[in-house]
Amino acid sequence: MEAIFLNILNMSLTAGYCAGIVLCIRQLFIRHFPKVYSYILWLVVFARLALPFSYETIYSFVPIRSKTIPTNISVIHQMSAGNDQMHSAANELFSTPFINADVAAGGNRLQIAVCVAAWVWLAAAVGLVCYGIVSYNILKYKLKESVQTQGQIYESNKIPSPFVMGFIKPRIYLPAGLSGREREYVLCHEQVHIKRCDYLVKQIAFLIVCVHWFNPMAWISLWFMCRDMELSCDEQVLKAFGRNSEQIMPYKKEYAAALLSLASGRNIRISGGLFFGDGNVKKRIQNVLGFQRPKRIITYISVILIILAAVGLMGNKKPDQPITVDEAAIMEEINLPYIYFIPEAYWAGIEGLADGEHAYPIILATEDVYDNGDGTMASMIADLYVLTEEGLIKLGEISSGGTAYPLSYSKAGIFMNSGHTGSRCTINTKTWELEIAESVAVSYDENGTDTFTYSLGDKTQESNEEEFLAFFDKYMPESVVVNFMENSNQYIYFNF
């Protein structure tokens, strides 16, 4: 639940920036454009609110990254492999290699806060959705005695203004007593809504805002989107009644009069239908009276500009340069006696770590080292870090089973071994978790029978001694032991 909530926060933050940009574009650059263009840009904002993925581009208008808040900000993953207690539980270990630290019991206030916030968010979102469903059904019950006049058109004496309502088969509801030109304008307006599927757009947008209820920019976007939806629909109706400015002129006054007479005088619930008199009637009348049919060249230019704006809003900013490793700052932040930076030639190629054109530096840190006999200061246990665009992320603790099997690495992964187990680990850049990509294990019982297992990802199967030994023969010759004394003047930070 916490990971979902943090992902929603990231999406909401990114979309909030997009909404602010659209507001600026709307007010400064396309203020006098047909409102259909600003309506389209608001749809882009809601796409950013709804979609958990995007793409990177140098043309992005969004100044922040898609994961400003790390999704594992409050979770510490601990990992243990190859210790002396594994002899009778190797299979269980490799089937569930990761243990989330019980940080609540340990007093991790951040995780408690995130957990509480996640449940509050979920409760409020569900409450808003339920409110929308209830109010929709109340309105639907109110209309059950409406009379069908023709096709999808219904009349009722219990509604103050015409509107569209429905999902699969939308209906147009008219207040009783409409006739003549007024009825013609209303039907044309509502049919434009149906043709453009505005009735679905508004319902979906409301559900999206229920998810992002805590973000004021989501509510502002909904208000402006509904407003531009109505303004653009008004303009479309005027286009249908006249092909040039002279032909449109007589219809403007009549249409404005229809808006004024049919205005509901109140804001209709978002969960209801698309009301003809819904929204800022004064603004709509001003827009109608000032509407001019755009020239063809202006239309072409407007379309190109809106497409470019949509592309820039949908993408995230692509990093101009690879991540800079500030070793002194990292050593100060980690604050452990021994720190080792895996060389770029290795971390840039480790399976699962490279993300498109970008790879992420790996750092190991420990407070206990030993001399393994050949001058290498190795360790059996260390904290594993990855440096990302969002900063330094601690993935957890890794350990091997004895001084004969120190921590090591190659381009195939990071290795943790003992006399009874061997595991090749990779890093998942989507969740920032250390994962066992491949492992072998052997356990013994009192009868002297060896039980071998082999694991590839989530799949574990029985194995044999040959496969067990082949794992070490395949990976160990090319692996490099993590030497915490290597380049000591540069890589080791002593904490006295």
Strand partners, 426: 435
In the predicted structure, residue 275 carries a pLDDT above the cut 70: no
Cβ distance 173 to 192 under 8 Å?
no
pLDDT band at 89 (very low <50, low <70, confident <90, very high): very low
Q: What is the per-residue pLDDT for 319?
A: 58
pLDDT at 113 over 60: yes
Residue 419 clears pLDDT 80, i.e. is over it: no
Rounded distance, CA 462 to CA 441, Å?
10
Pairwise CA distance, residues 440 & 421, whole Å: 6
Residue 268 has pLDDT above 60, yes or no: no
User: Could you tell me which residue, 246 or 473, shows the higher pLDDT?
Assistant: 473
How is the beta sheet containing 459-462 ordered, strand by strand?
Answer: 459-462, 450-456, 433-444, 421-428, 413-417, 408-410, 480-481
Higher pLDDT, 245 or 275: 245
Of 109-123, 276-290, 400-414, 435-449, minimum mean pLDDT range: 276-290
**Measured between alpha carbons, how far is residue 160 from residues 13, 109, 157, 261, 451 in Å?**
39, 53, 8, 10, 78
Partner residues linked to 417 by β-bridges: 422
What is the model's pLDDT at position 433?
81
What's residue 71's pLDDT? 53
Position 351: which residue type?
Answer: E
For residues 152-173, give the mean pLDDT: 87
Per-residue confidence at 69, pLDDT binned at 50, 70, 90?
low
Read off the pLDDT of each residue in 81-99 and give the average, rounded to a whole number: 34
What percentage of the chain exceeds 90 in pLDDT? 20
Cβ atoms within 10 Å of 163's Cβ, excluding its own = 26
Model confidence band, residue 2 (pLDDT cutoffs 50, 70, 90): confident
When pLDDT is cut at 50, 70 and 90, the band that residue 33 belongs to is confident
Q: What would the mean pLDDT of 304-326 be, rounded to a whole number?
A: 79
Res 490: pLDDT: 37
Q: What is the rounded CA–CA span in Å between residue 218 and residue 124?
A: 15
CA nearest neighbour of 272 among 164, 114, 416, 433: 164
The tens digit of pLDDT for each residue in 356-407 reads 445 788 889 988 888 877 778 888 889 999 888 778 888 888 888 777 788 8
Express each pLDDT in 328-356 by its tens digit: 888 888 888 888 888 877 776 565 554 44
Alpha-carbon distance of 231 to 228, in angstroms, equals 5
pTM score, whole prediction: 0.61
Q: pLDDT tens for residues 420-472?
A: 888 888 887 777 788 888 899 988 777 778 889 998 877 888 988 888 889 88
Specify which of 15-24, 66-75, 439-448 reaches the highest per-range mean pLDDT: 15-24
pLDDT of residue 43: 95
Model pLDDT, residue 356: 43
**Mean pLDDT value across residues 184-202:** 91
44 contacts 18 by C-beta, under 8 angstroms: yes
Mean predicted confidence (pLDDT) in 233-240: 88
* Model confidence at 190: pLDDT above 50: yes
pLDDT at res. 12:
92
